[in-house]
Chain A
Amino acid sequence: MTAVLSVRDMVVRFDEFLALDHVSLDVAAGESFGIVGESGSGKSTLLRAVAGLNAFEAGSLSINGQSYSGRSRSKEFYRTVQMVFQDPYGSLHPRQTVDRLLLEPLAIHGFDNVDRRIMRALDEVGLGSGFRFRYSHQLSGGQRQRVAIARALILEPKVLLLDEPTSALDASIQAEILNLLEQARRDRNLTFVMVSHDLGVIHHMCGRLAVMKSGKVVETVAADALEKRDFSADYTRQLLVASEGFRRV
């Protein structure tokens, strides 16, 4: 097992607040890795630090054997790693058409055949060419998330960072997006790192998962361990109970 993404003792601090406290994890090529935890546990910060959106002050990050520090990321990095964000309303430029949104990454990285690539990307996320010249306000939440996924996939990355990709969507739309992501992962042999507060979603999508609490990884377990209740941390148990719904005592 070769780690495509490896984080060692990463520390992120916002003024006094220690958002990530010596976090380490390894994700193998082709693996789907989940991160769960409550708000403020540092799960999104970890993803953002990997993507270079937050600087980290200590520790190391290596992707595909190449190591990166602090905040600076090469162009090459973004061809390998792409990210999909939580809020489909906030992550698309309101004054750009879908076509323009998808063209931007292609232009930056100097791809050829842009026309065909855009058409194919839209097809792949199930939108079709009818959506190509629409603005994001003309799309529903689920359609916007599809565009965001198309934008991430159009550069043919190896690693996809997913920050709560379905938590702003209805349950029925969530199922569609999760299926789409799984299909894309199978077709392109992608590596996923997915953050969610929903254990059900993580269990469905991921093979292994890390449970985070107050900036630390509490434990890392295999997804089937959740079914068998084969984990040690009390906090994991609490999360699992909470995900099963309300029970009258």
Chain B
Amino acid sequence: MSEVLLTVDDLRVTFPTRTGEIEAVRGVSFTLGRERLGIVGESGSGKSQTGRAIMGLTPRHAKITAKTLNFAGRDLLKISDKERRDIRGKRIGMVLQDPKYSLNPVMTIGRQIIETLRTHERVSTSEAKARTLAMLEAVQIRDPERVFSLYPHEVSGGMGQRVMIAMMLICGPELLIADEPTSALDVTVQLEVLGILDKLVAERGMGLIFVSHDLRLVSSFCDRVLVMYAGRVVEELPSADLSKAQHPYTQGLLNCLPVIGSDRHPLPVLDRQKEWAL
């Protein structure tokens, strides 16, 4: 790991509710260089809220605290909204789960990508268009000119997710947060999209945080994996050593998947221990 891009120390995200405060993230710490980090956990484990807190997308009423939340030398908790906006989209990009809900339905794909670009850089219209087309080509869209003038509802899920990746990478961010980028896609399309993401992240030397519920997928894609449970990191390990996982939760997650070639009836289930959540 070369330079440190992001330092997170004791990150906590708290939501006030009628019945008291809910701590969704309870003291998450990690550092990230220019590498691929996977965050895995089940629903409600706080994995998405961790990603959102870094991006600055936590709802206003929630409270974020951390000893350190440092991105490339800047304290993300202290900077103004204006500085936040400069970083968001320009230096940190985020790919969301479902392209159907995260693209603007009343704007053509080309215009949306250009909007991102011109928010952050002063470029001429013709240059913006040229760069957008080049970016669409980089995410392996065969006919960029045609897709440029389409609306999001006119493209498939896999294509929409490529558009999303193109939009996030056009400003050349140093860090990309991908929150379940392929969960809404078909299995066959999933691999194509992951392949494109993988190639671009490697070529551009970005840091990547890959948030997913799929432990196997994450371990085949990332260098390092954080396993979260009930708002905490219960285990951190290199993807290659996944089979040597120590924590019973990680082992349970690995074991409970049906795999072709094994014959286990009934499937082993997770026996949740109270002390995991402490």
B105 at the interface (CB under 8 A from A): no
Kindly identify which residue among B186, B198, B215 contacts A39, using a CB–CB cutoff of 8 Å.
B186
* In the bound complex, CA of A242 to CA of B192 (Å): 10
Q: Which residues on A are within 8 Å of B, measured CB to CB?
A: 38-39, 141, 170-176, 178-179, 182-183, 197-201, 203-205, 226-227, 238-243, 245-249
8 A-B pairs with least C-beta separation: A204-B258, A175-B256, A179-B266, A170-B42, A172-B270, A242-B187, A38-B186, A175-B267
* In the bound complex, CA of A178 to CA of B164 (Å): 34
Q: Which of B3-11, B80-88, B132-140, B216-224 is near enough to bind chain A?
A: B216-224
Residues of A contacting B270 in the complex (Cβ-Cβ under 8 angstroms): 172, 175
Is A238 in contact with B259, judged by CB distance below 8 angstroms? no
Given that A200-B258, A203-B260, A204-B258 are known contacts, is A171 also in contact with B42, CB under 8 Å in the complex?
yes
Could you list 11 examples of A-B contacts with CB < 8 Å? A38-B188, A171-B257, A172-B253, A172-B256, A175-B270, A178-B266, A201-B258, A242-B191, A245-B217, A246-B191, A246-B198
B 260-273 binary contact with A (CB < 8 Å = 1; else 0): 11000111111000
Given that A198-B187, A246-B194 are known contacts, is A226 also in contact with B260, CB under 8 Å in the complex?
yes
* In the bound complex, CA of A62 to CA of B43 (Å): 41
Residues of A contacting B266 in the complex (Cβ-Cβ under 8 angstroms): 178-179, 182-183
How many of chain B's residues have a CB under 8 angstroms from any CB in A?
A: 33
B195 at the interface (CB under 8 A from A): yes
Is B252 in contact with A172, judged by CB distance below 8 angstroms? yes
Kindly identify which residue among B198, B217, B221, B268 contacts A175, using a CB–CB cutoff of 8 Å.
B268
Is A197 in contact with B194, judged by CB distance below 8 angstroms? no
Is A246 in contact with B220, judged by CB distance below 8 angstroms? yes
Interchain nearest-CB distance for A123 vs B (Å) = 18
Is B256 in contact with A246, judged by CB distance below 8 angstroms? no
Interface of A, secondary structure class, is helix
Is B265 in contact with A182, judged by CB distance below 8 angstroms? yes
Interchain nearest-CB distance for B125 vs A (Å) = 37
Residues of B contacting A201 in the complex (Cβ-Cβ under 8 angstroms): 258
Is A178 in contact with B267, judged by CB distance below 8 angstroms? yes
B213 at the interface (CB under 8 A from A): yes
CB within 8 Å of A: which of B159-191? 186-191
Residues of A contacting B214 in the complex (Cβ-Cβ under 8 angstroms): 171
* In the bound complex, CA of A226 to CA of B257 (Å): 17
Is A204 in contact with B267, judged by CB distance below 8 angstroms? yes
